[in-house]
A and B are shown apart, each in its own frame.
Chain A
């Protein structure tokens, strides 16, 4: 059974902390994505990667960075967490230009 896993389901952090969200997929997919989902705003793309060590900005990259050192792992980093980064974070992976996207279970991040 194919799988995308995320390191935490729930996370509570303080303003100014550095936060790491990890995503791992076991399907040998080239593409990996980080989204955030907020009520009324839907899913918004933060960053994506189509190969190891490659990354591209999505629609809302400000305040975030990413790392992809291995094909199966894509990390989202909040350098200095702020309260407006409280959100549901979703990781996804896909194969090629037209493959099905598989999503992880999500991480509910609260920044106090």
Chain B
């Protein structure tokens, strides 16, 4: 079964810290991987999308990497701020899944002032 796992479920860090959020997936045959942010009671906002042929993508203080062979992705957040507090979800589009996404359960990040 194709699965996406995010551990830990929650993380609390002091403001200014650089941090890494992890995502693992069970099948290396993927089209792409996306990282989303979700604020409480809201929809999901796409942060970064990495195609299967890419190794990483960057947007501002965010950098996402992809290692298909090991089934892992990381989201690096530089110089964290209280405004980064949210739930971060990883989603994989597996080959043959006809554009469907398989989501991890997310990591709830709290950045303390």
Contact = CB atoms under 8 A, between A and B. Distances in A.
Contact of B46 (A58, A101, A105): A101
Interface residues of B, number: 23
B51 A98 contact: yes
B103 A102 contact: no
Interface in B41-63: 41-46, 49, 51
Interface stretch (B67-75, B77-85, B92-100): B92-100
- Residues of B contacting A: mostly: strand
Contacts of B46: 100-103
Given A103-B44, A105-B43, A58 B106 contact: no
Given A90-B44, A102-B46, A105-B42, A43 B98 contact: no
B43 A103 contact: yes
B109 interface: no
Contacts of A43: 89, 103
Contacts of B43: 4, 90, 103-106
Interface of A: 4, 31, 33, 40-43, 45, 48, 50, 56, 58, 88, 90, 92, 94, 96-106, 108
24 contacts: A4-B43, A33-B100, A40-B105, A42-B89, A42-B104, A43-B103, A50-B99, A56-B98, A90-B43, A92-B44, A97-B93, A98-B32, A99-B99, A100-B49, A101-B34, A101-B44, A101-B91, A101-B101, A102-B46, A103-B46, A104-B43, A105-B43, A106-B42, A106-B43
